[in-house]
A and B are shown apart, each in its own frame.
Chain A
Amino acid sequence: MNANEFDVIIIGGGITGAGTQRDCAMRGLRTLLIERSDIATGATGRNHGLLHSGARYAVNDPESAEECIRENRILRRIAAHCVDETDGLFITLPEDDLAYQQTFVDACRRADINAEIIDPDLARRMEPSVNPELIGAVKVPDGSVDPFRLCAANMLDAKLHGGQVRLHTEVTGFIREGNTIKGVHTHNHQTGEDADYYAPVTVNACGIWGHHMAEMAGVKVGMFPAKGALLIFAHRVNNVVINRCRKPSNADILVPGDTVCIIGTTSTRIPFEECDDVAVTPDEVTLLVTEGAKLAPSLSSTRILRAYAGVRPLVSADDDPSGRNISRGIVCLDHETRDGLKGFITITGGKLMTYRLMAEIATDMVCRKLAVDKACETAVVPLPGSEEGSYEEVAKKIWEAPTMAQKAAASRMGSRARRIRTGNKRDDALICECEEVSVGEINAAIDRMDVSTLTDLRRRTRVGMGTCQGEFCACRAAGLLAKAHGCIERERADLEDFLQERWKGNFPIGWGDTLREAEYTQWVYKHVLGL
């Protein structure tokens, strides 16, 4: 058996690809995942991080609602260290129709979502930041989920089951024999190497980029890029997800995620050419702040850390190339039955938090093609890091009296925090002071989690995600990376890219304290470090 032969090749290192790789690997398949950039760089890392209860879809899309609540319950079990069980509120404001509340609650009940009408007073006590003008409130089992952590944990588990991962590697073409896809040509952007990989089945899990991937394979998947813009506030204003109890609209969800909270989103059709570099416009910022303040008035005076946008991979229902009939549900296409192209599957649509179900559907299809008869276990086997319960329990189990950084590490890595070297001055020194990331945690990520750039490191550890946006941590982390990779020049360029990328997110909201801080960062890097 050749080292470049596999049972299945998965293209795309987002949550769908990572989840599919895990599922395939757990069913005993030899898997290879190829990602042209890093994990969670597309829509996976560019959304709210909302663990939907399904309530948002209950009225208009009951099927999605049912999927959501089922996966919601599963993720709480299998991905405990990625999930924050916050609960959620659907609030009715004076300008909203209170009659909608009953329609909403009835729809939730039909979808098996525990939606409970509560007194506005109770809602104000439950979430003190909520707009006090609210006239109605419904409590639902929403939560938040960290997409980077979830994606990394899936990929890690795939690797623990023998899977292989090639990051920063782009698929440049398909190896085709007649009407069968036999494998892929790839190019590694970092080493410059080209390589071919072979497998009887290739899964296209590229999100919006799946459109082009399908074209490259010679089939057409009608996708429609819809940009969604979001804002990150510098600290948690709310500890409970706040939604508007009305038909889904712009900027009507405020999600507390790790140390920040996120308002979003918008929905704008954009051309495919813009998918690689989406920018947030001033109008979107205004809309998000204005509408956000209706959910929690303090947002109008809370420091904003970043603005960012993702592109949803919306898919037109299969026989409607016009795109009028767009679904947000899961789409799994067998190109053999659909287009006569063997060995190629596209899995797309869906949502971050239904990734596991998407992966299960795709893996079932892969297994059918390979005649493998093994049941899916991803709904019951916890992800690595999630085996030992909440981070409070984990931290106390590992360290008798955990420090802040140890607690923070446990909250990011779950039980895998055990593997961090700690207990001495060198490993316990902080790299990121905003998010409490130690040298030991950074080195653990570099050693085990396929890190080649600072941005990769950020997605795995939250380095540079805090209020300072890399001001103090970036140069320190760069030092560790330079040491690990044995190249200072490469790291210097990487540091410049990283700071540029941080500034990109600061720019649309560049005022007040965020601007002061960005300017200070510039002094530090330009004038002190001579970058």
Chain B
Amino acid sequence: MKLQEYTESKHNFEECMKCTVCTAYCPVLQVNPLYPGPKQAGPDGERLRLKDPFFFNKALKYCLNCKRCEVACPSGVNVADLIQSARIKYDHTPPKLRDQLLASTDFMGKLARPFAPIVNGVTGLGVTKTALDWTLAIDHRRSFPKYSGRSFESWLKHRRKEQAAFPEQVAYFHGCYVNYNYPQLGKDLVKVLNALGVGVQLLEKEKCCGIAMITNGMSAQATKHAVHNVEQLRQAVVDKGLKVVTTSSTCTFTLRDEYPHLLGVDNASVRESLLLATRFIYEKLEKGATLRFKPDFHKKVAYHTPCHMEKMGWGIFSEKLLSMIPGVEFTLLDSNCCGIAGTYGFKKENYEVSQAIGEPLFAQIRSVNPDVVACDCETCKWQIEMSTGYTVMNPISILAEAIES
């Protein structure tokens, strides 16, 4: 008999060798002494919580869920998953109205879109920011993403026939940001994919990936979204045989990894077909597809790797794609968290921590002084634009700008 052929534990917490590398890499711990750090909050705390939920520590809410601890861990412990799972399991504090509003990106988008010019005007006002700070504790120093008057979905639906004519097809999980705030990124993707002979379809009906719900104590709603989305993805991947591309690193990561790890929603049938657009495009170019670039294009681009890109290990695809554009002067920024972590940085209590975490990144951007910062994450974009004044573009948009139309 083979005794204990292998050992296993939830999120591998027993694999922890206590080496403390995760703690050294945690961006929160450097600036917020209230946070116990990934090792204590994760594998160490888990043993105590298994003894008695009384040992759950509310300070776990300071975790950014950036997953840098997991990237650093040499033993394969899913440290951040342990922390977020513990929050889901033990923290039954009902989410504040503010957190519910911040987390409901889908709902807020639907609400705001028809009144976009008014909403954008109002949220930009100092008086509104002060009011939001006082009433909801959304920090007054934050800038809000603008809403678009027309949704991406409606734009693409009008082009359904035209897109269907392309010989190759992909489905696009655009996410809330593209749909309600910045349809231009979706349009840029369509332009690039069309140039490669690929037509773009929508999923039958996508919902917000739910990451903001997960981190704001609304896991039940997030699970509903996850079940819905996995079914939608299954129809595209299994029934229609399509790959699904995305332009947001966090949505991608959530659909691929947070669903099974944190929400227990099985996505095995679709996970491998779910790709970030830069990876999809890079792999196509590797296999011989070509793009016609503008001869006179020139841009100094500094690429910031979002935390969830680090976790997926996919930053390399965006980097390579950008550096192969003729006329791009490419700088890879040091791997640092920008500090916003989705809705985290919007909260009044986190503002200082958020900015302190991002400061090394901001300083480097200022010293590189690029024409544009490239990044695959929309919340990093808001944070960097607000904190440095530099424009941030998704690599797909830079690519779209660089190719002949």
| Residue positions of A touching B, CB distance < 8 A | 234-236, 239, 256, 258-259, 285-286, 289-290, 300-304, 391-392, 395, 403-404, 407-408, 411, 430, 433-434, 436, 466-468, 471-472, 511-513, 516-517, 520
Contacts and interface: CB of A to CB of B under 8 A. Distances in A.
B69 to A, nearest CB: 15
B14 A259 contact: no
A256 B48 CA distance: 12
B44 interface: yes
Contact of B51 (A258, A300, A304, A467): A258
Instruction: Name the 6 nearest CB pairs between A and B, nearest first.
Output: A303-B14, A468-B18, A259-B47, A236-B50, A303-B7, A235-B47
A235 B9 contact: yes
Interface centre among B9, B44, B46 (most CB of A within 10 A): B44
A390 to B, nearest CB: 9
Contacts of A468: 17-18
Contacts of A300: 4
8 contacts: A259-B48, A289-B3, A301-B6, A302-B14, A303-B7, A404-B45, A433-B44, A468-B17
B87 interface: no
B326 interface: no
Given A236-B50, A467-B47, A520-B17, A301 B39 contact: no
Interface string B334-361: 0000000000000000000000000000
B39 A433 contact: yes
Nearest to B45: A404
Contacts of A407: 48, 54-55
A286 B1 contact: yes
A517 B16 CA distance: 8
A304 B15 CA distance: 12
Interface centre among B4, B9, B43, B50 (most CB of A within 10 A): B4
Interface in B44-75: 44-48, 50-52, 54-55, 57, 75
A321 to B, nearest CB: 41
A94 B5 CA distance: 25
A472 B17 CA distance: 10
A174 to B, nearest CB: 45
Contacts of A513: 7, 14-15, 17
B46 A235 contact: yes
Contacts of B52: 411
Contacts of B5: 301
Contacts of A303: 7, 9, 14
B259 to A, nearest CB: 23
Given A234-B14, A301-B4, 19 more contacts: A285-B3, A286-B3, A301-B6, A302-B14, A392-B54, A404-B40, A407-B48, A407-B55, A408-B48, A433-B18, A434-B18, A436-B48, A466-B44, A467-B14, A472-B20, A513-B7, A517-B17, A517-B18, A520-B18
B363 interface: no
Contacts of A466: 44, 47
Contacts of A408: 48, 55
Interface string B314-328: 000000000000000
Contact of B47 (A236, A301, A392, A472): A236
Contact of B36 (A239, A404, A520): A404
Given A303-B9, A513-B14, A520 B54 contact: no
Contacts of A392: 54
B19 interface: yes
Contacts of A239: 50-51
A434 B55 CA distance: 13
Contacts of B239: none
A302 B9 contact: yes
Contacts of B16: 467
Contacts of A430: 40
B286 interface: no
Contacts of B296: none
Nearest to B56: A404
Given A302-B9, A467-B16, A290 B1 contact: yes
A256 B3 CA distance: 22
